[in-house]
Each structure stands twice: as C-alpha cells, then as structure tokens.
Amino acid sequence: MPETVEQKINSLEKKIENLQNQRKDRLSMVIFSNDLDKILAALIIAVGAAAMDTEVKLFFTFWAISALRDKNKNAKGKDMKSRMFGAMLPHGTNQLKLSKMNMEGLGKDMVRGLMKKKNISSPEELLATAGELGVEINICEMSMGLMGFSKKEIIDYPNLGYCGVATFLADAGESSMQLFI
Amino acid sequence: MPETVEQKINSLEKKIENLQNQRKDRLSMVIFSNDLDKILAALIIAVGAAAMDTEVKLFFTFWAISALRDKNKNAKGKDMKSRMFGAMLPHGTNQLKLSKMNMEGLGKDMVRGLMKKKNISSPEELLATAGELGVEINICEMSMGLMGFSKKEIIDYPNLGYCGVATFLADAGESSMQLFI
Amino acid sequence: MPETVEQKINSLEKKIENLQNQRKDRLSMVIFSNDLDKILAALIIAVGAAAMDTEVKLFFTFWAISALRDKNKNAKGKDMKSRMFGAMLPHGTNQLKLSKMNMEGLGKDMVRGLMKKKNISSPEELLATAGELGVEINICEMSMGLMGFSKKEIIDYPNLGYCGVATFLADAGESSMQLFI
C-alpha cells in the first residue's frame, strides 16, 4: 500500500521532532579540577550561558567536589582513610589554589585582589548567581565515596543533586555544548 | 518547471537524512593527559557511554599514550633521545601518578586503596571492559614519534589503531559529544 | 482553517533550515592553559580542522593569553600589580613550559628538538599557518584585565579580536565541535 502525501509529511515531521529533541540549547560541563582558575572559568562560562537562557547542567566530579564543601559544616562518622584524605583537600572555593603561580597563596591572593579591583565576581558570588539563574549542579556519587566526602558537608545550593556517569552522559548527549574542565 | 509535491517531499527527506548523519550517537574523546585521575575519569566516561550503546572513539595523544605502554614489552632500536625520553615516561596505567596530592605515590596508593574498598574498577579493569564493549582506541601517530614510542611497546587491545588529527576531526565532527581530557 | 499540503511542506522546510543553522561545521575551542604541550595540541587541532575547511574559532582566556604576547612589544602605563603579574608570565610561545617533565627547560628543549627532527611545526609556525587558513582568534577581554595585559603587547595576527564569554557561547552553541584545553 503506497504512502499518501499526508502520511509522508507526518513521517517527516516526526523525524524533525526527533532531531530537535536530540540537540537542545544546553551546556553540559564536567568540572573535574579544583584549581581556583579553572573553577572560575567554569563558573563564568556557566553563569554566562544561563544568562543567555541556555540550560546549564554542571557535573562535579573528583577533585572539583572539594570546591562545594562548606567549611562550616562538619562531617562526622567517616572511616580514617576518608577522613585523612578529606582533611587534605580544600574546604570550599575559598581554599582553592591556582593551577600555576600559586606561590604559597601569593598568586592566589593577587588574582583575588585583581578580580576585586576589576569588579569580577568571586567564585562564591558566581555560585550564588548560578543558583539564582537555575544552573543545575550534579555531584558524581562515585567520586563522593572515593574522596571520602559526606553529603552533610556539601554547601546549600538550590538545585543540587547526586548522580552517576550515566545521568551525565544522557544529559550531555542531548546538549548542544559539552566541555570538560 | 515547478517542483511537484512528490519532489519536494523527496528533497526534504534527503536533507533530514543529512542532518541525521551529521550527528551520530557517538562520543569522541581526546585523551591528552597521563594523570591517573584523568585517565580514570576518561575511562569511566568511555565505559559508561559504551554501556549505554553509544559509539565511543578515544584518541590518545601526547602524554596519554604512556598509559597504553605494556611494561612487559620491549622496544628496541630507538635513537638515544627517544630512549631517554621514553625511559622517563610511565610504562602503562600502573605507573601513572595523580595530578594532585601524589605525595611520592602515597596519594596514588590511597586512591587505589579507596577504589578497591569502594568496588570501583581499576584503570586496568576499565581498559579490559572498554575493549569488550567495543570502545575504539586510536593513537596519534605524530605523538608516537614525538614521544619516541614504538608500536611494539603498546598493549594488546582488540580495537586499536593509529591515525592522525584529521581522522579524529572527521569522527568528532559527526559526534554528538566531544571532550578533551 | 486546515493547512494545505504546500503550507505543511513550507513549514517543514523552515524547521530543517533552523536545524541546519543550529549546527555548523565549526570548531569552537577555549584555550585556557599556557602549557607548551597543550598549546601545541590546540594549534595542531585548529590547523588540522581549518585544513579540512572547518570553520575554526579559538577563544584564548586566562593563562593562554600569555602565549599570544609579543616579546618585542612593550606595554607601558600599567599599574604595579598588573606589571608584576605580567612580568612573571611567559612572553609568547617561545617561553612556554611543558605541563610535565619540564625539568628546568630541559624537557621543553627535548620536545622542541624532537619536533624539529620529526618535521613537526613549531607553535610559531602553527600560529602563522592558522592565520593563513583563516583561523579566528578571540581573546577574552575580562582575562586581559585580570592578567594585566595590554592590547599593545599582543602579537600581530590577521584575524584577531577581543570579546566576552557571551560571544564564545553564541559561537560555540552553533558549532559541531567544542573543546576546552
């Protein structure tokens, strides 16, 4: 039975819809590093995209999770190895170091000072703005365990969840942009 | 001569087909670093994607190639500079260091210990799984020369080839996801 | 009023055109690092893509901008903090270091020596080729200020501009490929 013109048009319409769903105006970003400079770059890109009404999904993994620790929250009941490892990692954005020229914190302080002078938002302010603009933060559950972090020590953020690599991949596969930082 | 409805529908069909071919359910990843943590992240993402039936093509370049060296294979007949450089680079995943907190191998051993405890696969196991799931490994031919590596010292892997940046770009341009790690 | 076949076909045509415009044969690359090895990788990928007639847009930000400084140009009239910071950063590709095994410049010289021997273009040659092939270089304006760089000290390049993260995102959102290096 040959297809009618109507049927053909309907089938094309469906294919086009599929293509539209396969690539959404969305930025999926893996944030892996906890270098102050890279966290800054990632947050500036994220906030910039959200301000342009692009959907933004951040996937914090490995070292980067330490940027989301709240130094005023306490995580008790960890085993010793996790506690040791966790103690050596930064507690929040305020303790992050530069990837280069950190010079025992001097370079970091210079960058933070220059940022203030040039009216560039600090990582703390960028995180707050990201939250207001609806940027989604997903934390890699496996890395939480590996780094010995507890959910109790993670910052309060309006749109924060925990997931695995499969969720990231499903989201990223539909995104118009993906970056690994 | 005006187009008939049939002709118009055929032309639309062709354009849709082109769009479908231009973006395949495929992850193209440049793996540049040989940090243990980054190799781990790359392999976890690769295996995760392959498990979701996404086609995965890895492009190992520069330092990352040292993660694919088999320490039990010997590469003879190199010139001295290449031999020196090669001797200083890791021989396989087992000799990779962390990008941070390596602490003369202590941090590396802690991470490996924690991974075992949390039942996370080692890089060696991830590579084996990647091979079983059909993940393609392409090694940058130019970097092989630059790093002074010989094909004789590369691990056995079911789906391994050598290529240039043009092959990576042709593959990546059609992929729904690209990452540089 | 029901749509005629003609109207339906026109509407499908428009949707297809939108899809075509949403994903151009274009590589958008954030270059963040100023490690010699990463700058090399980025330029090799950029030149490779341009040689394949893919549109290439590079977005130099943070440390990477130091790779675009011309050591023969002088930037006067900076405030002291910016001058100090700028003095410590590399002046152009010739002063870049390796991310690993730099060994006080020995590793860097070995890599440069091996590159010459293997007939691989130097970063300086790659930049020149990139310019000839129409690769676009955009420099992050905010980072210029943060790093204390002046436009007067940036190399001459045929297709160079200054912009913000919004321009990068608008370009990248339409690109078939995005990478962060």
Check whether B114 has a pLDDT greater than 90: no
* Cβ(B148)–Cβ(B81) below 8 Å: yes
Contacting residues for A106 by C-beta, under 8 A, at least 6 apart: none
Question: What digits encode the pLDDT tens for the residues A31-48?
Answer: 999 999 999 999 999 999
Our CA-based measurement puts residue A45 at a distance from the nearest CA of chain B, in whole angstroms, of 16
What's the complex ipTM? 0.92
* Residue A98 tokens, joined: 């530069």
Check whether B129 has a pLDDT greater than 70: yes
pLDDT at residue number A1: 66
Contacting residues for B118 by C-beta, under 8 A, at least 6 apart: A142, A145, A146
pLDDT at residue number B147: 86
Question: What digits encode the pLDDT tens for the residues C81-123?
Answer: 777 778 888 999 988 998 887 777 777 887 888 888 888 899 9
Amino acid at A178: Q
pLDDT at residue number A17: 93
Q: What is the mean pLDDT of chain C?
A: 91
The pair phi, psi for residue A125, each rounded to 5°, is: -65, -40
Give the SS3 label for residue A3: coil
Check whether B137 has a pLDDT greater than 90: yes
Residues of A in contact with B113 (CB under 8 A): 81
Among the ranges given (A81-90, A123-132, C55-64), the one the predictor scored with the smallest mean pLDDT: A81-90
* Band of pLDDT at residue B77, cut at 50, 70 and 90: low
Of C34, C62, C173, the CB nearest to A177: C173
> Inter-axis angle of helices C5-22 and A5-22, to 10 degrees?
20
Residue in C14, C103, C110, C175 to test binding to B, most B beta-carbons within 10 Å? C110
List residues of A whose CB lies inside 8 A of any B CB: 5, 8-9, 12, 15-16, 19, 22-23, 30, 32, 34, 61-63, 81-82, 84-85, 88-89, 142, 145-146, 148, 164-166, 168-170, 172-175, 178-180
* Band of pLDDT at residue C57, cut at 50, 70 and 90: very high
Distance of CA C67 to the CA centre of its chain: 10
pLDDT at residue number B152: 93
Q: What value does the mean pLDDT take over residues B104-132? A: 87
* Band of pLDDT at residue A77, cut at 50, 70 and 90: low
Greatest mean pLDDT among A84-93, A99-108, A135-144 lies in A135-144
Other C-beta atoms closer than 10 Å to the C-beta of A1 total: 4
Check whether A162 has a pLDDT greater than 70: yes
* Band of pLDDT at residue C3, cut at 50, 70 and 90: confident
pLDDT at residue number A118: 84
